[in-house]
Amino acid sequence: MWWPGWGGGTDWRAKTACASGRVVATVPGMTSTILIAEDDRSVRESLNRILRFEGYETIAVEDGEAAVAALENGEIGLALLDWMMPKLDGLAVCRWLRRNNADTPVLMLTAKSETSERVAGLDAGADDYLIKPYESDELLARVRALLRRGGKSGGQSGLDDLTLDESGRRAERSGVDLNLTKIEFDLLLALVKRSGTVITPSELYEQIWGYDFGPNSKNLAVYIGYLRRKTEEHGGRRLIHTVRGVGYVARV
């Protein structure tokens, strides 16, 4: 079990500068900077130590306004946002990020366990969520999965009148931009690249999220619903189909 006071010892690989609750740790050779926005000081400092020990650069802040400032001023590879923070909560920060067309992955940290509350986080644009308390190994696994998905690939894919530009990470249908979030684009691309093939939920969870949420999770169904609404918004015929008891397939 991960406890707020755990720090993994002194990290001799990182140099840290502290000012007004903001911590920046720099590790030579690493390019992925992780933003930690958490108002609980002990949790914030523990997260900072855990991630620095793994070799990541970190910026740690204590409220939502400071998180927005960090996202505006720096190249952030991943944002860890506590749901409940002063000034702006994690949902507000996430919505701000998505309104500004940023595809920075967001991992929401929350004590809220109700399905409706988790769905609210996904609706705000979060890519994933982690319920407190959590194991440090699980936290690091999710961080690695989100950072892996942060890179951009080249080329184009398409199905019917749907076109996906992988390098620009844009999707259009009949020339209309679908304005997809990062997860939505990754999921649609995975389905289109294997169009005509039924893909199981477990495969999609592993490919898009980096791990399987399990048979009771509704995350995938929620995102399939988002994609259907966006791809069919202007009267386009359905391209994403459910094969009951098996999975999902993209086909005309």
**15-148: CATH superfamily:** Response regulator (3.40.50.2300)
| Domain residue limits, the chain | 15-148, 156-250
Cα→Cα distances 107→17, 152, 246, Å: 24, 19, 28
pTM value is: 0.56
Q: Are 15-148 and 156-250 the same fold in CATH?
A: no
Distance between CA 210 and CA 149 in Å, rounded?
9
The whole-number average pLDDT for the span 230-248 is 93
Of the listed ranges 77-91, 104-118, 178-192, 217-231, the least confidently predicted one is 104-118
pLDDT digits (tens, 9 = 90+) for 115-156: 677 777 777 788 888 888 888 988 998 888 888 765 444 567
For residue range 176-226, what is the model confidence (pLDDT) as tens digits? 999 998 889 989 999 998 899 999 999 998 888 877 778 888 889 999 999
Residue among 3, 60, 10 nearest 35 (CA)? 60
**More reliable by pLDDT, 103 or 149:** 103
Burial of 52 (C-beta count, 10 Å sphere; 0-12/13-18/19+): buried
pLDDT score of 127 = 83
CATH number corresponding to 156-250? 1.10.10.10
Angle (CA) 227-231-236 rounded to 5° is 145
Tokens of 220: 């995938």
pLDDT score for 166: 81
Residue 167: the pLDDT is 75
pLDDT of residue 154: 52
SS3 241: strand
Task: Give me the pLDDT at residue 153, please.
Answer: 47
The answer to whether the CB of 161 falls within 8 A of the CB of 173 is: yes
Q: Give residue-wise pLDDT tens across range 14-52.
A: 333 333 344 544 443 344 689 999 999 999 999 999 999
CA distances from 55 to 2, 31, 58, 80, 226 (A): 19, 10, 9, 16, 35
* Per-residue pLDDT at 150: 58
Helix (H) or strand (E) holding 187: helix 182-193
